[in-house]
Amino acid sequence: MATTATRKPDLVIRGRKVVGGVVEGEALATQQTISGWGGVNPMKGEVIESRHELRGVSFAGKILVFPGAKGSSGWSAVFHTSRLAGMSPIGMLFTITTTKAALGAVVLRVPSMTDFDIDPVEHIETGDWLRIDADAGEVQVWKGGRP
Amino acid sequence: MVSLTDAEKAMRDGAEGPAVAKAMDLLIRYAEALDAPDFVYCNNIAGVPGSSPKWVKDYYKEDGGDYRAVFSRFDLDSDEVVDVPRMNGFSCHLQGGMDPELWREQGMTEEAFANFRSDEAEVAAHGIQVMKTCTPYLAGNVPVMGEHCAWMESSAVVFCNSVIGGRTNCEGRESTSAAMLAKRIPNWGFHTDAFRKGQHAIKVEVPVDSIFEWGMLGYFTGAAVEDAIPVLSGDISDAALIKHKHFGAAAASSGGVEMYHMLGITPEAPTREVAFGGADKGETFTYGAKERAEVYERLNSIGSSRDVDYIMLGCPHYSIDQIADAARMLEGRKVHANTELWIFTSRAVKATAMASGYDRILAAAGAKLMTDTCSAISQAVPPGTKVAAFDSAKQTHYLPAIMGIEGWFGTTQDCIDAACTGRWNGGLH
């Protein structure tokens, strides 16, 4: 997949493939870990956990940038259900590898990465434009939106 | 790349049939996502294989809309529908969505019940033990020290790792269903020695002896260490299964703790050095009178009305000694007209409770003994519930948020008294 970008990325982050593939899209970033069961409404792709900074926000069609998964072992099944509902993220970048996040990425079947040289949670903000090439282990970041 | 034995390659390539091949394919994708070097043999699996609400079956209508379709497409994440044989590993079904007899009281429809019955018949026909509990270790599945397991259910995972010394990650639905067929799970995380060592210290400076105190310490611990492994030492006494059960469930819900060490109490913590795998690491948190009061306040911050209409006991599912205690507290008393008391357990423990006569004592008092599920899992509370009370820190953490109701946390005695008077009079003593 060729990038639609017309200028060089502001930042390139290298990391490890969790699930292969290439995707380009807008980032939805959070500093907080995400609960699946009880924390996400999979039918809307929406974070519902009280006190979460993304509460009421949908990750459908976005590249989710977050530290990692927490909570119930139902994490993968809830994200899997969001795929059935057509409300899943199109890519995931997470910094803490857990069985929940890894299995969730596998069944979401979206390009996903972890183990980065530069922390994406620190450097990527909601609205930034991203291109993930998980097979090449590379994330390109354009600050402030589609270049 | 995950390295495969000849037997694993053969499974992947279809030597044991298409379902096992799909299971192995999913497990290989999962192992690669984790960057696991290889697999461990695993013959102790607890999950929720193939059970699904009606709409998921409808979603796979073109694939037949049945158990086979759901197990293939959802559980095994397969693009094709395959015949699902009897499971190969020792496989257990954890908690489900409703009580098999009292489902009407739980507000379930005839259609939902018919779907539940049909799923359960399929589960049984596929050689899966119908345990229907979050506490498999109280219903016939007790791992041994060092046994590689693949379990779902955070409170069971933390119990398996910490109290028994069994080895499991917090698995998901798809990985457990696949492991039931392939008897493999990625060799990662809690399956390895190094991963099981302590990361932070908790110093306990107030007496933690009763199940109520153990639960509050658990809730404090999870909030302090999040998903890291704590090493607890100090004034902890009177260890018992039900106290570990409450502690672990609380720590897993406030934080995400999947293993803990208690010095001189849990099996992988004979000494500080063994528990940490060397010198102390991480931070040291102190649990004293101030922290204890703060935990109690936090757990009771979602209650304002003292008129209680629902008391829920049995999170995690009550053991037989907890049912016996509740029956003793209720004997000769009546649940208040404005209040409902539901007690949740496994079918196995309910059978013992019936043989021991506790079901009659509970019924005479107006309490309902339910199995398979809990209010949080089934999102079922008595009609009109506005204020609930619990003796479980975990249920206090989840249910009020899920149902949008108020909640109180206290001792079992506080809860039974509230059930009989309709008033919450709990307090920290």
| Integer CA distances (angstroms), B113 to B98, B276, B393, in order | 8, 49, 30
Q: How far is A45 from chain B (nearest CA, A)?
A: 16
Both tokens of B314, joined, read 């049995």
Domain ranges of chain A: 11-142
Answer for the pair B348, B131: CB distance below 8 angstroms, yes or no: yes
Q: What is the spatial distance between Cα B24 and Cα B78, in angstroms, rounded to a whole number? A: 11
User: Which residue is catalytic, options A35, A72, A76, A112?
Assistant: A72
* pLDDT of the residue at B350: 98
Residue A3: is its pLDDT beyond 80? no
Residues of A in contact with B394 (CB under 8 A): none
B172/A104 touch (CB, cutoff 8 Å), yes or no = yes
Query: CB-based contact (8 Å) between A76 and chain B?
Result: yes
Strand partners, A132: A23, A139
Confidence category of residue A4, pLDDT binned at 50, 70, 90: low
Residue of B nearest to A76 (CA): B172
pLDDT value, residue B37: 98
Residue of B376, B383, A94, B413 lying closest to A79 (CA atoms): A94
∠B412-B414-B416 over CA atoms, to 5°?
Answer: 70
pLDDT of B237-268, one tens digit each? 999 999 999 999 999 999 889 999 999 999 99
CA closest to B25 among chain A residues? A106
Span B328-386, pLDDT tens digits: 999 999 999 999 999 999 999 999 999 999 999 999 999 999 999 999 999 999 999 99
Q: A74 and B152 in contact by Cβ < 8 A?
A: yes
Q: Looking at chain A, which residue has its C-alpha nearest residue B30?
A: A103
Binary contact (B77, A106; C-beta < 8 A) = yes
Q: From the CA atom positions of chain A, what is the Rg in Å?
A: 14
Residue B258 has phi, psi (to 5 degrees) of -110, -10
Q: Where are the domains of chain B?
A: 6-191, 197-298, 300-421
The answer to whether B246 and B252 are in contact (CB under 8 A) is no
Q: Which of B59, B71, B77, B157 would best serve as a mutation to test chain A binding (most A beta carbons within 10 A)?
A: B77
Contact B2, B37 (CB under 8 A): yes
Calpha distance B390→B385 (Å, rounded): 13
Q: Which residues contact B274 (CB under 8 A, 6 or more apart)?
A: B268
* DSSP per-residue codes, B296-339: HHHHTTT----B--EEEEEEEEE-HHHHHHHHHHHTT----TT-
3-state secondary structure of B149: coil
pLDDT in tens, B261-303: 999 999 999 999 999 999 999 999 999 999 999 999 999 998 8
Nearest of B226, B285, B283 to residue B251 by alpha carbon:
B226
Give the fold, CATH level 3, of B300-421.
Aconitase; domain 3 (3.30.499)
A2: pLDDT strictly greater than 70: no
- What SS3 class is residue B4? coil
In the numeric block, the tokens 């809730």 are attached to B219
Q: Are B105 and B316 in contact (CB under 8 A)?
A: no
Q: Per-residue pLDDT averaged across A23-38, rounded? A: 94
Q: What is the pLDDT of residues B29-49, one digit of tens each?
A: 999 999 999 999 999 999 999
Distance from CA of B173 to the nearest CA of A (A): 6
Instruction: Give the Cα separation of B332 and B313 in Å (integer).
Output: 19
- pLDDT reported for residue A37: 86
Lowest-pLDDT range of A61-75, B11-25, B264-278? A61-75
Q: Do B34 and A102 touch (CB under 8 A)?
A: yes
Distance from CA of B148 to the nearest CA of A (A): 15
Q: How far is A18 from chain B (nearest CA, A)?
A: 4
Asked, as a colleague might, if the bond just before B316 is cis with ω within 30 of 0, I would say: yes
CB contact under 8 A, B77 and A97: no
* Backbone angle region of B64, left / alpha / beta, with phi > 0 → left and psi within -120 to 50 → alpha: left
* Contact (CB<8Å) B29/A100: no
Pairing of strands A34-35, A40-41: unpaired
Q: Containing H/E element for B9? A: helix B6-12
The CATH number assigned to the domain with range B6-191 reads 3.30.499
Q: What b/e readout covers B155-189, taking b as 16+ CB neighbours within 10 angstroms?
A: bbbbbbbbbbbbbbbbbbbbbbbbbbbbbbbbbbb
pLDDT the model gives residue A50:
77
Q: Is the pLDDT of residue A5 over 80?
A: no
How far is it, in rounded angstroms, from Cα B345 to Cα B322?
10
Cα separation, A38 vs A82, in Å, equals 13
A11-142 CATH fold: Glucose Oxidase; domain 1 (3.50.30)
User: For residue A139, what pLDDT band results from cuts at 50, 70 and 90?
Assistant: very high
Nearest one of B383, B386, B387, B391 to B413, comparing CA atoms: B391
Question: What is the pLDDT confidence band of residue B81, given thresholds at 50, 70 and 90?
Answer: very high
For the stretch A10-28, pLDDT in tens is: 999 999 999 999 999 999 9
Could you say which of A18, A75, A84 has the minimum Cβ distance to residue B172? A75
Chain A residues with CB inside 8 Å of B30's CB?
102-103, 106
User: Does residue A88 carry a catalytic annotation?
Assistant: no
Looking at the predicted structure, is the pLDDT value of residue A38 above 90? Answer: no
Alpha-carbon gap: B188 to the closest alpha carbon of chain A (Å): 9
Distance CA B410, CA B420 (A): 15
Contact A103 B174 (CB under 8 A): yes
pLDDT for A130 beyond 70: yes
Binary contact (A73, B398; C-beta < 8 A): no
